């Protein structure tokens, strides 16, 4: 494999800074082109797998947040009810 495949050219505007690969196809042999294409497919598939994992994590976090919001709501409601009961008990005394 030539050194051209190992070099990575990128700047700050690129989304995948460290993973962006730019190669000049004219200067590559057929074997280098095939290896480059294989590497790009592997990178794409890895990215898609990672994206799927992250989407699943986001979904789980959203569910947990929703549950925490419900827990908070019911806890506050119960505390308010306890406060009313205690106030009523104090008024009776």
The pLDDT tens digits for 42-69 are 888 888 889 999 999 999 999 999 999 9
pLDDT band for position 11 (cuts 50, 70, 90) = very low
Whether 20 has a pLDDT exceeding 80, the answer reads no
Q: What is the pLDDT of residue 13?
A: 47
More confident residue, 58 or 39: 58
| Cβ contacts of 32 within 8 Å, gap of 6 or more | 1, 2, 4, 5
Cβ 1 vs Cβ 35: under 8 Å: yes
Question: Domain limits of the chain?
Answer: 3-92
Cβ pair 72, 41 in contact under 8 A: no
pLDDT at residue 68 in the model = 97
pLDDT exceeds cutoff 90 at 93:
no
Q: How far, in Å, CA of 72 to CA of 67, rounded? A: 9
């Amino acid at each position: 494999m030539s050194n051209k495949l190992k070099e990575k050219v990128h700047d700050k505007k690129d989304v995948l800074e460290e993973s962006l690969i730019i190669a000049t196809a004219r200067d590559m042999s057929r074997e280098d082109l095939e290896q480059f294409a294989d590497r790009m497919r592997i990178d794409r598939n890895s990215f898609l797998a990672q994206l799927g994992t992250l989407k699943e994590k986001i979904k789980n976090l959203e569910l947990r947040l929703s549950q925490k919001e419900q827990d908070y709501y019911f806890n506050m409601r119960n505390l308010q009810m306890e406060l009313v009961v205690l106030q009523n008990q104090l008024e009776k005394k």
